[in-house]
Structure 1
Amino acid sequence: MGAFDSLRIANTALGAHQVWLDALAGNIANVNTVRSTDDEAFRATYVVFDPRQDGGVDVEGFAQSSAEGRVVSSPNHPLADEDGYVRMPDVDMAAQMSELVMAQRGYQASVQVTKTAQDTYSAALQIGNR
C-alpha cells in the first residue's frame, strides 16, 4: 500500500457515504408524501455500491422502491378517491433511521481515517525537516 492509498480509499468512502446520506435524507423527508390512488407513490432511492479492486468504493447506481407503495384509508384527505383511499410510499422509517446511523458512522470513520493519515504524514515530514 502506497503512502497516499489510505487517503484515496477514505476519500472514496467519504463520497459514497455522502451520496448514501443524501438518498436517506430524501427518503425520510418523503415518508409521509400522500398521492391519489391514480398516481404513483413516492419511490424511495437506494444506493448501490461497487467495491473497487484498490480497496475503495464507488457508487454503481441507484435502485428505487415500488411505485405501488401502499394504499391507506384516509377518507378526509383531499386526495382520497371515492372509496376514501390514498397512496403512501412503501418506506420503512425504522429501516431508514437504522441506515442513517450506519451511514453517519461510516462517514465519521472515513473522516477519522483521513485525519489520522494527515497527522501521520505531517509527523513524517517534521522528521524529515530535522
Structure 2
Amino acid sequence: MGLFDSFAISASGMTSERLRLDLIANNVANMNTAGRPNDPNNPVYRRRVPVFAEQLRQTMAANSTEPRGAGVRVKAIVEDPAPPRIVHEPDNPLADQDGNVAYPNINIVNEMVDMITASRAYEANVTALNAAKSMALKALEISRG
C-alpha cells in the first residue's frame, strides 16, 4: 500500500463518518416531529442510518489479481422499519379521529451511543491520517539529509 492510498482510505472513512453524524443529528432533530398515523399526506419521519461498504480496487501487480482494500463508502441510506410511537393527544392538530398522533420511534440513548461511536471512528481516521502525514514528512527529511 502506498502513502497516498493510506490518505485516501482515511479520507473515505472521515467522509463516511461525517455523513453518519449528519444523519444522527437529523434523527435527533426530528424525534419530536409529529405526523398522522397511516396518513400518506402527513408521513411520520423515519430514523435514517447509513449502510457502509468496503471499496475495493484491483492490484496492479502482474502476479496478483486479488482486490485490495481502498477505503469505505456509504452504500445506501436506509430507513428504520420500526413502527411509529402512537401518543394520545386529542388537542394536537395532527391527531386522527381517535385523537392519536404518531411520532418517530427514535430513542435518544441509541442516537447518543451511535454519535459517540461515529465521532470516535472519525477521530481514529484523523489519527491514522496524521500518522501517515508524519511518516511522509520524516521520509522527506531523511531523503534531504
TM normalised by structure 2 equals: 0.82
CA displacement 1:69-122 (0-9 Å, x = unmatched): 222112232222232210101112211111110000001111111111111111
Query: Matched residues in 1 for 2:81 and 2:87: separation?
Result: 16
Query: Matched residues in 1 for 2:75 and 2:2: separation?
Result: 25
Alpha-carbon distance, 1:4 to partner? 2.3
Q: Which has the larger strand fraction?
A: 2
CA RMSD of superposed structures (Å): 1.6
Match of 1:94 in 2: 109
Letter in 2 for 1:41: V
Query: Matched residues in 1 for 2:128 and 2:115: separation?
Result: 20
Q: Which runs of 5+ in 1 are unaligned?
A: none
Alpha-carbon distance, 1:68 to partner? 4.6
2:43 to 28, 40, 54: 40
Runs of 4+ in 1 over 3 A off after TM superposition: none
What SS is found at the alignment partner of 1:24? Answer: helix
Q: Which runs of 5+ in 2 are unaligned?
A: 57-68
Match of 2:137 in 1: 122
CA displacement 1:44-71 (0-9 Å, x = unmatched): 1110110123151111011112385222
Preserved CA contact (<8 Å) 1:7 1:114 = yes
2:92 to 77, 95, 113: 77
Match of 1:18 in 2: 18
Alpha-carbon distance, 1:17 to partner? 0.5
Preserved CA contact (<8 Å) 2:8 2:70 = no
